[in-house]
Amino acid sequence: MTNVLGLNAAHTERLYHELLLAKQMQAALLPGNHLPDATLDLAARTMPARIVSGDFYDFAHYAVKEISVAALGDVSGKGPSAAIYAALVMGILRSLEAGELGPAQMLQSLNTALLKRPVQAHYVCLMYAIWDEGPRLFKVANSGLPHPIWIRKDKVAIVDAIGLPLGLFKVQQYREHVFECELGDTVVFFTDGVTEAVDSDGQEFGRARLERVVWTCLYDSAQKTLDAIFSEIATHTRGVEQLDDQTVIVVKT
């Protein structure tokens, strides 16, 4: 028996098995919930819309200073081609980390590298954040992802970091946003699949709802905050297939 694509059952099963193997490999490329040598409380999760994801995250540590790094990426498109492009971006990113670049420099260098090996119809939105343990500073550069959420005891703030996606345009310079965190602050990085998750009426989850969830978890651990976010998303989207990957990094300083 063949399906609408003309594939027999055995061929379909083999393709599905190969996608599951790709999913396992992709999961193995992602780091654990740990920023090396940092005192930050950290949790991260990605929820693919399909078997494999175009979202990814990575963590690293710069050896010469008390500096740790977090990166969050969202590749255009979905499925296997987006996952392969995500692996390409991660490979280049990790090779550039040896140079211990600042966030703006990293985006510039990564953009230049991707423009040298263009892939039709693919680009990546990426956030690169550096945590400097001594002065308790976050330095963030962004190329197309939603503004991170920054919550303190007395306010909810937007980290005003913006920029064009990588792999599309020759950009001369990316902006770098710097902000100082107090003990107990929460910073949340996320892809647009989170806020754009829809319910059965087509209503989006939205940024305001995400901020409320994070606010209610102000005194919880990063993992409990992450669990609460995805629990709220699951409740909002119950029974509705989502079209975009969802990835969140929660940092408690």
pLDDT at residue 175 is higher than 60 = yes
Residue 139, CA distances (Å) to 65, 135, 213 in order: 14, 11, 24
8 assigned to some structural domain: no
pLDDT at residue 16 is higher than 60 = no
Look up the CATH number of the domain holding residue 91.
3.60.40.10
198-233 pLDDT, tens digit per residue, is 999 999 999 999 999 999 999 999 999 999 999 999
pLDDT at residue 144 is higher than 60 = yes
17 assigned to some structural domain: no
113 assigned to some structural domain: yes
73-86 pLDDT, tens digit per residue, is 999 877 788 888 88
Report pLDDT for 54: 83
Q: What is the count of structural domains for the chain?
A: 1
Query: How crowded is residue 76: how many other Cβ atoms within 10 Å of its Cβ?
Result: 18
Q: Which domain holds residue 79?
A: 35-252
26 assigned to some structural domain: no
